[in-house]
Amino acid sequence: MDDALFAPPAAHWTRPAPAYLTVKRITSLTGWGVAVMAVVIPLAVLVRGPWPWVAGVAGLGIIAWRQLRLGRWFRRWGYAEREDALYITSGLWWRSLTIVPYGRMQVVHVQAGPLDRAFGLAAVELVTASAESNARIPGLARAEAERLRDSLSERGESRSTGL
């Protein structure tokens, strides 16, 4: 497997909080459940025969597949704080490794939507001078988000490159 390409050498990955998987399962079930009903209900009204049942079974299959896939997707998220940069990895099929040098960080955002707050979660987002290198770490426990926010702010200020 190509995991070495997407990992910094000798780094410990910090993963999102387990509650983040629950939040993702809820949002996936809600979104896909509404989408399936938006197809099946009109089919049931407009079309005679087995097609509404076929669409319903196919929709339930898609929902089940997405729920099973979420576990693997969740385990692919992680970040590692190194001496001079923050490494963020993500992606199930399209893997990604983002490296943000502390000296290039301009702003550290902390965000939490209503569902995140209900589960005690937050996301930390880093903004740099380049729009391509902005990075987001979702699903952090509130205490970890606070710690990471403070750590990144301190490291960014101490290594500022004068942008």
Residue 22 domain-assigned (yes or no): yes
CATH code of the domain in which 150 resides = 2.30.29
Q: pLDDT truncated to tens, each residue of the chain (163 aa)?
A: 466 777 666 678 899 999 999 999 999 999 999 999 998 888 888 888 888 888 889 999 999 999 999 999 998 899 998 888 899 988 888 888 888 888 888 889 999 999 999 999 999 998 887 766 668 999 999 999 999 999 998 888 776 655 4
Reduced to 3 states (helix: H, G, I; strand: E, B; else coil), residue 127 is: strand
Q: How many residues does the chain have?
A: 163
Show the domain range for 123.
Answer: 78-158
Residue 12 domain-assigned (yes or no): no
Q: Whole-angstrom Cα distance, residue 157 to residue 129?
A: 14
Shared-domain flag, residues 41 and 107 = no
Q: Which residues pair with 128 in a beta bridge?
A: 105
The pLDDT assigned to 97 comes to 87
Q: How many domains is the chain built from?
A: 2
Do 105 and 152 meet the contact criterion of CB atoms below 8 Å apart? Answer: yes
The pLDDT assigned to 92 comes to 85
Residue 64 domain-assigned (yes or no): yes
The pLDDT assigned to 5 comes to 77
CA neighbor of 65 nearest in space, from 17, 40, 22, 32: 32
